[in-house]
Amino acid sequence: MNTQDTLTLVQSLAERLLARGAMMATAESCTGGLIAAACTELAGSSAWFERGFVTYSNQAKTELLGVSPALIERHGAVSEEVARAMAEGALQRAAVQVAVSVTGVAGPTGGSVDKPVGTVWIAWAARGEPSTARCCLFKGDRAAVRAQTCQAALAGLMDRLA
């Protein structure tokens, strides 16, 4: 992860959230808390970062975010539907205005023909707006996939707050 690029993204995100008096939450699977860690690396982040959910297992996605087991069974954990349900669940379970979620295959194993290593779904949710999601296919090893996911999630949140 290019630490400077991520720090710049987080600083810009903080400015936008503070200008709106808004708080954010994360719901992370394949990144295991990297997005929350990047946000809280910045001093004063408690003014705009409320919480992060690390929901690596399907059971955690269900228990902590309210993702339906049937939805996971039907579409798989790495899917638009589950990513959106994760972001919406974080929004419902935290006193925040925006949330971002990620679910994917960071590798080096776990990929398939339909969902190769590097496949990541990122979703964003905001109060009063429909959630949105995007599928990314990142290249590189596990660390590279996770770093790129973190940056794409933050950049997408910036775009939605523009």
Burial of 132 per CB tally in 10 Å (0-12, 13-18, 19+): middle
User: Which pLDDT score is estimated for 3?
Assistant: 75
> Is the pLDDT assigned to residue 1 strictly greater than 60?
no
Question: Class assignment of domain 3-161?
Answer: alpha beta
146: three-class secondary structure by DSSP: helix
CB-CB neighbours of 144 under 10 Å? 15
Span 33-69, pLDDT tens digits? 999 999 999 999 999 999 999 999 999 999 999 999 9
Span 9-22, pLDDT tens digits? 999 999 999 999 99
CB-CB neighbours of 126 under 10 Å? 19
CA distances from 9 to 16, 69, 80, 157 (A): 11, 34, 24, 10
79 token code pair: 């899917």
Closest C-alpha to 133, from 103, 162, 161: 103
Q: What's the whole-model pTM score?
A: 0.97
